[in-house]
Each structure stands twice: as structure tokens, then as C-alpha cells.
Amino acid sequence: MSVFDRFQESPFGPLSEHMQVVKECVALVVPMFECVRNKDYDRLHTLTQQVFKLEHKADEIKNEIRRRIPKNFFLPIYRGDLLAFLKMQDDIPDGVEDLAVLLTIKKIELPDTLANDVMSHAKQVVKVCELLFQCTDQLADLVNEDFGGARAAQIFEIVAQADHAEWEADKSQYNLAQKLYALEDKIRATDIFLWSNIFCELGRLANHADKTGERLRRMLVK
């Protein structure tokens, strides 16, 4: 049975399928940076091609969800909230795709003095996303509990953790930017510009995850 056949029961099955694709996309973030660190550009190309395919798959599921939720479809939450949540959730693979593009514009090298900090920052961004995943993994249970109860309280706590993790990622990004521009006499200006954009895209990825969690929290308090 196709995932979309389950719409007769609930739209939350396809929504979870969409999130599964998002997870697969995010799981490639740290490996892509490892490829850059190791100058393994062939594997980087392979990983980015996977990202592009996953992002396209996420778009297809998103568009099908939008098409299959008519205005008269009964939902335990406001239809507009659900579609807004879906849009924010879909911003995550879009961000990973943008990151993959930046990492492959040229065979960029990661300065040794930045390598450990860059890897730590990438892992911190992924941590924000993984906290979101802990929330969305409980969507089915939330439906059964009418979007309330102990499960909702637990999600509120995880969303708060994600918010703090995103704040830590912001601090990490700022420190990385300082260290990057301290190398302006040692690496090319074009590389500084590209790495700066990469760091900003990582920051946006963490923001996407944090905002998606916040949108879920807002759905639960209505």
C-alpha cells in the first residue's frame, strides 16, 4: 500500500514519511564536511547527489500532502497550521541542498586550524535537527492523545532543548567567523567568502529546525 493510500485514515502517516526523508538528508551533513576535511571530493560528489535526490523526494511528498488535504478534511488541528508545519519541515532538506551546493562549487579546502571547530559546529547544527526529530517521531502518539497530555508536555521540553541548542550553534558560528577572518592574510579572499557563506547556511539549517519545533509547540497549545 502506498503511503498516500493512508490518507483515508490520517495525513500524519505521509507527514512522518516526509520527515523520514528529512532525517536521511540531515544525516549526510557531517559526512559531507568530513569529505571536505579529507579532500575526498569524489565521495563528496556522491553524497551531494544523494542530497539532491532526497530533497526532490521530500518536495514530491510535500506537494502530494498539500494536494490531498482538502479544506473539508477533518483534522484534530487547524489545516493551516499543519501546512505551515509541513513548509517549515521541508525547509530543512532545502537547506541541506543549499549547503551541498556551496560545498561543491569548487574543491574548497578546510584550513587545518579550523577543521576541529568546523566539525564541532556541523555536529551542533545536526544536534538541533535531531532534537526536532525526537518531537516529530511522537506525532502518531500525539494524534491518539488528541494533541495533549503528558506526551505534549514532553515535546514542550524537547523544543526548549532545541531552542537552547540552536543558541549554542549561533555562538559557535560567531566564534568560527572570527577565526575565519583571522586567516585573511593566509587564505584567499574568495575562500573566506565561500566559507562564510557555508557557515551562514549551517546557521540557517539550525534555524529551520528550531522554527519547525516552535511551530509544532504552537500547534499543541491551541
Confidence of residue 89 (pLDDT cuts 50, 70, 90): very high
With a CB cutoff of 8 Å and minimum separation 6, the contacts of 186 are: 111
Q: Which domains does the chain have, with CATH numbers?
A: 3-221 (1.20.58.220)
pLDDT at 29: 98
Among 31-40, 152-161, 181-190, the least confident range:
152-161
CA atoms within 13 A on the CB side of 212: 27
CA 67/CA 70 separation, integer angstroms: 7
Between 81 and 190, residue with greater pLDDT: 190
- In this structure, what are the phi and psi dihedrals at residue 215, rounded to the nearest 5 degrees? -65, -40
pLDDT at 114: 95
Per-residue pLDDT of 106-134, as tens digits, reads: 999 999 999 999 999 999 999 999 999 98
Residue 45 reports pLDDT greater than 90: yes
pLDDT at 90: 95
Residue 216 reports pLDDT greater than 50: yes
Contact present, 172 and 120 (Cβ < 8 Å): yes
**Span 189-211, mean pLDDT?**
95
